[in-house]
Amino acid sequence: MPTSTPDALRDVSVIIVGAGFSGLGLGIQLRRRGESSFVILERADDVGGSWRDNTYPGVACDVPSPLYSYSFRTNPDWSRMFSPGQEIWDYLRAAAREEGLGPHLRFGAEMLEARWNENDHRWTVRTPQGEFYGDVLVAATGHLTDIKLPEVPGLETFTGELFHSARWNHDFPLAGKRIGVVGTGASAIQIVPQLAEIADQLVVFQRSAPYIQPRRDRVFSEAEKNLFRRDQRTVEEMREMLFWYNDSRFAARRLIDDYLAEASWQALSHLDKQVSDPELRAKLTPDYTIGCKRILLSDDYYPAIQRPNVHLEAAALERVEGSTAFSAAGEAFELDVLVVATGFETYDLPSSYRIFGRGGNALADHWSNGMQAYKSIATAGFPNLFLLNGPGTSLGHNSVIYMIEAQIDHLLAALDWRSAHDGRVLEVSSDIENAFAKRLDEGAAETVIIRGGCSSWYLDPRNGRATLSWPDFAHRFRDECAPFDPAAYDHGEQSAARA
C-alpha cells in the first residue's frame, strides 16, 4: 500500500518484520489491546508469507485447517479438512483487513538492514521505503520464505523453462511438455499428480523416498459449516481433538516402539495398497526410520507415479547440459521444463545477515554454530529483539500456529513488563541462552530426527544439530516458552527517553 509523507509510523514502539502468520498474529493482538505504535514491514506487495508465495498446482496444507489457523480467529468456512493454499491466503488477507492492520502495513519495505543503536537503545531498520525506528524489533520472517536452489552443475545453462516450486511461472504453458521435477518433499508430492495430468512426459528425480501416509481429506458439508457458524464451541472442540491427536504422534518421533511401529505401518501399508509392482514399490520404500524426514500425506501421489507418462528416477539430479538432465544413476532425459521443489534456506537464514546487535555483530555470526535462542525467542547480544517462528519451533507432528501463538503470548508479556518498568532494555545472557540450547540439543539427541539415519532440512549440516526443531510435545512448548520471566533477562539498561 502507498505510504503517506511524512509517515506517522516511521518512529514506533514495535517494528515487526514480516506479514505472514507470525507478524499478522502479533499485529492483531496488539490492535486488540488498543496499541497503535507499531508497524509491519513486508518486502512483498501483499500479506500472506509462504501462502502468498506458493501458488503451484495442488498447493494445500498438510495440517488440518481447523488447527492451522488462529485460535483467536477461528474460521467456520473452511471448504475441507486440508484447505487449498488459496483459502489460507484469503484467510490471512481477511484477518489483516478485518482486524484493522491496513494502516500499519508497509509493503515493498524489505528489511535491508536492522541495527541496534548503543546510544539511544533503539533499533533502526533500513528499507527501500526509508528508515524506521523502534524500541523493539520482532523478526517474523519465518524459515520457509527464501528459496533454495539445488547445487547442480550446469543448472544455470538449462535451455528450457526453469523455476522453483515457490516461484511458479503461471505464464508458461506446461501442457504437452517434457517436464522434470526435482525433489519428493511436501510440495513435490502435491505438484506431481497435477503435472502428470497434462505433461507429455514427466520425470521425477528422487534422491530419497519419503514416507507417505493416507491423507484422509474430506469436504466439510454445508450442515457442518452451518453448525460451526452457529456455535463456535464446535470449532474449538474440533481444534482440541485434532491438536491432542496430532500431539500424541510425537511419541513416534521419540522412538517409542509401539508408536513408531504404528506410524511405519500406516505408511508402508499405504504403499503396499497403492503400488503393486514390486520393483517400483522397492524404489518408493524409504531406507531410514520414519519421522527422520517430514512424514507426508497423499492419496494421489503413488497413482500418479504409475501413470504411463511418468517415470520415477530413483536418483538425484546430478548435472544439466543444455536441455539434457542427467541423474546420478547415469540416465539422461531431454526436458522442456525443470521444476525444482528443493525447499528453502532454513538453517542459515538470509535475514540473520541483516540484523546487527551489540558492537555491530551480525546475528549470522552469532549463529555460526547453529541457530539458537532462549525460549526460542530471545538471543544474547541482541537487546529488545524477539524472534517468531525461528529456532526450536518447527514440528513434524502438529501445527506451527500453536507454537507462534505461544511466542506471541511471551512477547506481549515482555512488552507489558517494559511498559511497567520505564521501557527498560530486555536481553538474555549467553549463559542462559546456551543452557536452553543445550537442553534442546539433549532432547533432540533422543529423537528420530537425529537418530533416524537421514539428512533433512531440520538439521544444520554444519554441525548436525537439529536447530529448527522443538524436540518435545507441542503442549510442552507452550508450558515452557509462553510464560515471560523477567529474571531471565538482563534489564539493567534503560531506554533513552523519546525526543
Same domain, 371 and 440: yes
User: Is 42's pLDDT higher than 60?
Assistant: yes
C-alpha span between 209 and 161 (Å, rounded): 26
Go through the chain and tell me how many residues it has.
499
Same domain, 195 and 296: yes
Count structural domains, the chain. 2
User: Is 499's pLDDT higher than 50?
Assistant: no
129-136 average pLDDT score? 97
Residue 218 within any structural domain of the chain: no
Same domain, 278 and 393: no
Same domain, 420 and 463: yes
Same domain, 299 and 194: yes
pLDDT of residue 458: 86
Same domain, 166 and 281: yes
Share of the chain above pLDDT 90, in %: 92
Instruction: Tell me which of 317, 340, 363 is where a domain ends.
Output: 340
Same domain, 140 and 281: no
Q: Are 306 and 277 in contact (CB under 8 A)?
A: yes
User: Is 496's pLDDT higher than 70?
Assistant: no
Residue 36 within any structural domain of the chain: yes
Same domain, 360 and 484: yes
How do residues 266-297 score in pLDDT, each as one tens digit? 999 999 999 999 999 999 999 999 999 999 99
User: Is 31's pLDDT higher than 80?
Assistant: yes
Same domain, 405 and 483: yes
At residue 491 the predicted structure's pLDDT band, cuts being 50, 70 and 90, is low
Domain with 274 in it: 155-210+249-340
User: Is 345's pLDDT higher than 90?
Assistant: no
How do residues 82-96 score in pLDDT, each as one tens digit? 999 999 999 999 999
pLDDT of residue 457: 84
At residue 495 the predicted structure's pLDDT band, cuts being 50, 70 and 90, is very low
Same domain, 375 and 390: yes
How do residues 186-234 score in pLDDT, each as one tens digit? 999 999 999 999 999 999 999 999 999 999 999 999 999 999 999 999 9
CA-nearest of 480, 485, 371 to 426 is 485
User: Is 493's pLDDT higher than 70?
Assistant: no
Residue 447 within any structural domain of the chain: yes
- From residue 465, alpha-carbon distances to 373, 400, 457 in Å are 14, 20, 11
Instruction: Tell me which of 340, 366, 385 is where a domain ends.
Output: 340
Same domain, 277 and 357: no
User: Is 497's pLDDT higher than 80?
Assistant: no
pLDDT of residue 494: 52
- From residue 78, alpha-carbon distances to 56, 152, 182 in Å are 20, 40, 31
Residue 226 within any structural domain of the chain: no
How do residues 356-415 score in pLDDT, each as one tens digit? 999 999 999 999 999 999 999 999 999 999 999 999 999 989 999 999 999 999 999 999
Instruction: Tell me which of 307, 340, 373 is where a domain ends.
Output: 340
CA-nearest of 209, 289, 295 to 246 is 295
Residue 18 within any structural domain of the chain: yes
Q: Are 446 and 472 in contact (CB under 8 A)?
A: no
Phi-psi region of 16 (alpha: psi -120 to 50; beta: other; left: phi over 0): beta
141-150 average pLDDT score? 90
Give the domain CATH number at 192: 3.50.50.60
